[in-house]
Structure 1
Amino acid sequence: MKRRMSAALALLIALVALAGCAGKNEGEGKPSEPSVKAENSAGLSSNAKLEEVTLKIMIPGDRPPDMDLVIAEAEKRMKDTINVKLDVVFVPWSDLAQKTQVTLASGENIDLIFDAPWLHINQMIASGFYEPLDDLLAEYGKTVLDKRPQQMWDYNKYGGKIMAVPLGVSYMSGNSYILRKDIREKLGVPPIQTYEDLIAFAYKVKEQEKGIIPMTAGSATYSFVAHHALNDYETYVRPTHALGNSLMLYYTNNDGKVHNLLEEREPVGTWLANANKWFKDGLIFKDILTTKDFQQPISAGKVAIVTNGAFGISDFHKNTIKNNVPNGELETVTFFNPDKGANITNFKQWNFLAIPKVSKHKERAMMFLNWANEKENYDLLSYGIEGKHWEAVGEDKMKNLDTTGYYAFGYVWLWNPVDERTVVGGDPKNDELDAVLRNADMFTTDILAGFEFDSTPVQNEVSQYNIVDGQYYTALFNGVMDTEDTLKKFEAEAGPALQKIQQELQRQIDVFLAAKGK
């Protein structure tokens, strides 16, 4: 999974602003920790001695079986420096939006929390849940800063401030579909070249492989329609700044204009109708909305096609399919165009790690991030115990030894483009495509690069829309609900709110472009 997330993350926003500020007391009624300058890469002066604290970290995914071993090693390394214990809480992807929202709104102490533009980071920032990080980074996060290029910082600010640490290794996410290669070959289907080939393969699976579900996907981010839009090189449909990953409002053609799906159906309307037809025809997994891990069914040998937020397949999924289906084999198909200028980027990252204002350990949280972005520690938290879970191949590559005990999930709490390793033995074609993603010169710059949407003027409308979105969006964009009937419900329940959000977004964009002389 990479930035798309890969991927039902309903946005049900009903927020309560919380108070708090950085650099204050670390505990109730307890004096503040002595200020510790970031004089070395760990963010500590040589004679510093800090009281032990436990950081609670909330990130998405499933807890690896060997997570406790890795945490124990990390805590051992930190004992004589930043003296931190780790309480890492994993939240299923399908529960992420609601769980993180409720946690923040309740005032529960969290020191680091995952968020993203496709989730609800804009709304959370607008509601005052997150601590600005500029000062904390300057004092305690030199390594965090150095491990990310300036473009990553410049184009991932909110209101001119760094509100969360960007997690990324590229300027765009890879994307593909994971297929059961053994089934494709068994049915005599040649390698998939086009989207039409992919759907034809799904129909053939339905007709000839009765025990196999042809297709499945996950959440709003990885829905069939949203995934199809990733490689729309005719109109360049993209989500807007206002509603996360929602395509109820969308951009096209890099012109700075905001479109409303309730008023302008195409091309999204056709994609929705197609998905609904596939669901009615039995191509799409009937339990798609209740599956916790949307990629698990294909690893279990039950599905032939699933959406994927990367060009390749993790060793974890490769090994799992082998365990469940001895002759099973997976492959990926992508419709990504690697030509120079073919893809648009605003240099925004898809995943972030924020420090909530409610945290009692803001300084220590930044010290931990700084520690975690040192090469040796990054390797530990990203890949596990060296020699047990992985082994190094040079400075930037690795070989997996045990992905069942610990598997890479750095994209939800660590990712930086300097320390990330690639796995040896992967598909050279995928390596070439990944190299394109990491080269800024290969992209066309989004006309809205650097633009930030202030949702404050329409916060009530955003909240109103998100409630309706949570009821219909994921089902609609995975084909489960009838297209026209559901859009009529959207219109009746959220049409005026959506229109006001569109108008306010367009107003702010026009001001932004005018200031740039465009």
Structure 2
Amino acid sequence: MLAAAVCYMCTGCELSGQTGKNKPAAQDESAISIVISSLGMTFPDGMDENDNPYLSYIETKNDLDIKVTTPPPEVYEEKLDVIMSSGNLPDLLHTYDPVWFNHYAKQGSFIPLDGLIDQYGPNLKKKIKDEVWDRVRYNGKIYAIPSLNEVIGNEIMYARKDWLDRVGMKPPVTLEEYYNVIRAFTRDDPDGNGKADTVGLTLMTDMSRSAPFFGAFGTQLDSWFERDGQLVNGSIMPETRKALAFLARLYQEGLLDREFPLNLHNNLYEKVENGKVGLFSATWYDTRGPIAANMKKDPDAEWIALDYPTGIHGEKGIKNQDNIRGYNVIPVGTKHPELVIRMLDFIAGDYKNLKLGFENQIWTMENGRMVTDFAMHDKHLYRGIYQSLVDVPDPELFKERLDSLGDFHLYDNLQTIEQNLIENEFYGIPTPAMSQYDKQLGDLQEGLIQIIMGIQPLEAFDSFVEQWRQQGGDEITKEVNEWYRKQRDGERGREWDE
């Protein structure tokens, strides 16, 4: 399986310093350049995106020399635009934005990949389903290698049970019970330090981590729901106004974190770790992150998963995620596109090594069970930068991997999430109007945050709806319903071929 020249799988070699520094000089016929996201990952000392054992492993196995560029995650898509207009194009770009992909595919900026996949992509053909390929086709041709989401939902409610016990309350279920717990966690000194230094609920910028509260009203932002035979965008539904009223009440009463519009992941992490937050919408993996960090810092801290807040009509749940995570595209003019496809096919086929890390370094098998070395796992998380280019989930391996990471309830969290998803009824490629109006409609959502903060009255929601409709929303809705009609009528294939 491994090339004789470099053995990356034996104990003590691939993570002990043998990296890209030792590879042979690049040859033009084997050199490719790729632009991918760093995913916010950091590298061990002495390594970087072009010099590490996982990239060297991919290069050696495919006889390639790969030049990697990683624009900053905060401005990633903007940097891709700069690259596309520069005239100095790489051999591969990876985007997470379907609107970006849609825009440049329609401009003819990428090469079709069908023949290349047939010749060089057996693992890609085997592991990616036909209905997914349909979503990256234009005029009947494939223009991207998709990377898939391993999970289709993200948020789950968690609370500190020790705080619940201290304020004499049970785990909340109904929305009103949630309100009462959030109020107690703010005002009743749940940490027992005699100071008013806790917050009942925190969210993040762009209203991230708010999905369960919109779900209690039967809606989700930027999702599509069937109403009377037509698809309607959740951002403008009356139910969303009610959800905003609930959140605005929390903010007005000082129960919602005043800083939530500025909270990035690091801010939220610190507040949870430092015991300032006792209830929030966690990601499924936060039990291994800020929640675990809080329990390490405070031995008395005890966290439990909660039922999702349930509205007066029994609604609950969170937004489901698209099954496509990202798009690998090859610009027109690339000299050796077959090398790119070979690399991507290798990543899809060598899923276990790149996903889990090298055996006997990151993990071992003991008595038929996978055991992970946490320190090495965390140190070499950067491998995900390369593996995520073509994520092709394996459910059995996924559970085995999660269980090996320790007792963080990771798999249980995902099971809970999958049982409480509110389906987005639109799952097609972005429509032409979405590509045209996506950014300006996204900017409008700042008005929803202003309603929560009391800068604008609740009645301003009506103005938001009108602006959304006038600034492209009605056009998008028309196209989405044209797609919806085709799905109901059994028409298969790309909707916006030109």
TM-score, normalised relative to structure 1: 0.67
Rounded to whole Å, the distance in 1 between the matches of 2:113 and 2:450 is: 37
Shift of 1:160: 5.0
Match in the other structure for 1:308: 282
Match in the other structure for 2:66: 85
Match in the other structure for 1:8: none
Shift of 1:86: 5.5
Question: Structure 1's 500 and 80: CA in aligned 2 closer, same or farther, altered over 3 A?
Answer: closer
Rounded to whole Å, the distance in 2 between the matches of 1:516 and 1:331 is: 46
1:357-376 alignment runs, 5 A limit: 357=331, 360=334, 362-375=337-350
Equivalent residue for 1:74, pick from 49, 54, 63: 54
Question: Structure 1's 276 and 324: CA in aligned 2 closer, same or farther, altered over 3 A?
Answer: same
Match in the other structure for 1:416: 392
Match in the other structure for 1:39: none
Match in the other structure for 1:454: 431
1:267 equivalent to 2:239? Answer yes
Match in the other structure for 1:203: 183
How far does the alpha carbon of each residue in 1:317-364 deviate from its partner, in whole angstroms, 9 at most, with x for none? 454334544544444335399xxxx99999951512322527846443
The alignment partner of 1:500 has SS state of helix
1:187 equivalent to 2:167? Answer yes
Instruction: Please state which structure has a larger fraction of its residues in helix.
Output: 2
1:211-360 alignment runs, 5 A limit: 211-220=197-206, 222-224=208-210, 226-229=211-214, 231=215, 235=218, 237=219, 246=222, 250-252=224-226, 255-259=229-233, 262=236, 265-293=237-265, 295-297=268-270, 298-310=272-284, 312-335=285-308, 348-355=322-329, 357=331, 360=334
Rounded to whole Å, the distance in 2 between the matches of 1:160 and 1:474 is: 41
1:173 equivalent to 2:159? Answer no
Question: Structure 1's 145 and 327: CA in aligned 2 closer, same or farther, altered over 3 A?
Answer: farther
Amino acid aligned to 1:278: L
Which protein is bigger by CA-based radius of gyration? Answer: 2
Amino acid aligned to 1:455: P
How far does the alpha carbon of each residue in 1:101-151 deviate from its partner, in whole angstroms, 9 at most, with x for none? 56556667453324145x755556555565544344333322233234455
1:51 equivalent to 2:25? Answer no
Check conservation: 2:95, 2:328, Cα contact below 8 A.
yes
Check conservation: 1:167, 1:350, Cα contact below 8 A.
yes
Amino acid aligned to 1:321: N
How far does the alpha carbon of each residue in 1:155-183 deviate from its partner, in whole angstroms, 9 at most, with x for none? 6656655434132235x325312333443
How far does the alpha carbon of each residue in 1:445-483 deviate from its partner, in whole angstroms, 9 at most, with x for none? 98766x445315x754445434544x4456668988644
Rounded to whole Å, the distance in 1 between the matches of 2:418 and 2:439 is: 35
Amino acid aligned to 2:96: D
Check conservation: 1:64, 1:405, Cα contact below 8 A.
yes
Check conservation: 1:343, 1:444, Cα contact below 8 A.
yes
Question: Structure 1's 152 and 392: CA in aligned 2 closer, same or farther, altered over 3 A?
Answer: farther
Shift of 1:206: 0.6
Rounded to whole Å, the distance in 1 between the matches of 2:452 and 2:133 is: 32
Match in the other structure for 1:134: 114
Shift of 1:66: 7.0
How far does the alpha carbon of each residue in 1:192-231 deviate from its partner, in whole angstroms, 9 at most, with x for none? 444443333221111124222322233447341x4434x5
Rounded to whole Å, the distance in 1 between the matches of 2:480 and 2:167 is: 49
How far does the alpha carbon of each residue in 1:298-323 deviate from its partner, in whole angstroms, 9 at most, with x for none? 2344322332343x545344543345
Check conservation: 2:252, 2:453, Cα contact below 8 A.
no
Equivalent residue for 1:501, pick from 454, 466, 476: 476
Check conservation: 1:174, 1:309, Cα contact below 8 A.
yes
Rounded to whole Å, the distance in 2 between the matches of 1:105 and 1:256 is: 39
Question: Structure 1's 461 and 147: CA in aligned 2 closer, same or farther, altered over 3 A?
Answer: closer
Rounded to whole Å, the distance in 2 between the matches of 1:461 and 1:491 is: 15
Amino acid aligned to 1:228: F
The alignment partner of 1:215 has SS state of coil
Equivalences, count: 441
Amino acid aligned to 1:211: D
RMSD: 4.6
How far does the alpha carbon of each residue in 1:2-46 deviate from its partner, in whole angstroms, 9 at most, with x for none? xxxxxxxxxxxxxxxxxxxxxxxxxxxxxxxxxxxxxxxxxxxxx
1:400-411 alignment runs, 5 A limit: 400-402=373-375, 404-407=378-381
Match in the other structure for 1:11: none
Check conservation: 1:156, 1:348, Cα contact below 8 A.
no
The alignment partner of 1:252 has SS state of strand
Match in the other structure for 2:441: 465
1:4-43 alignment runs, 5 A limit: none
Rounded to whole Å, the distance in 2 between the matches of 1:130 and 1:477 is: 42
Check conservation: 1:220, 1:473, Cα contact below 8 A.
no
Rounded to whole Å, the distance in 2 between the matches of 1:438 and 1:288 is: 27
Rounded to whole Å, the distance in 2 between the matches of 1:313 and 1:124 is: 36
The alignment partner of 1:206 has SS state of helix
Which ranges of structure 1 fall in alignment gaps of 5 or more residues? 1-47, 240-245
TM-score, normalised relative to structure 2: 0.69
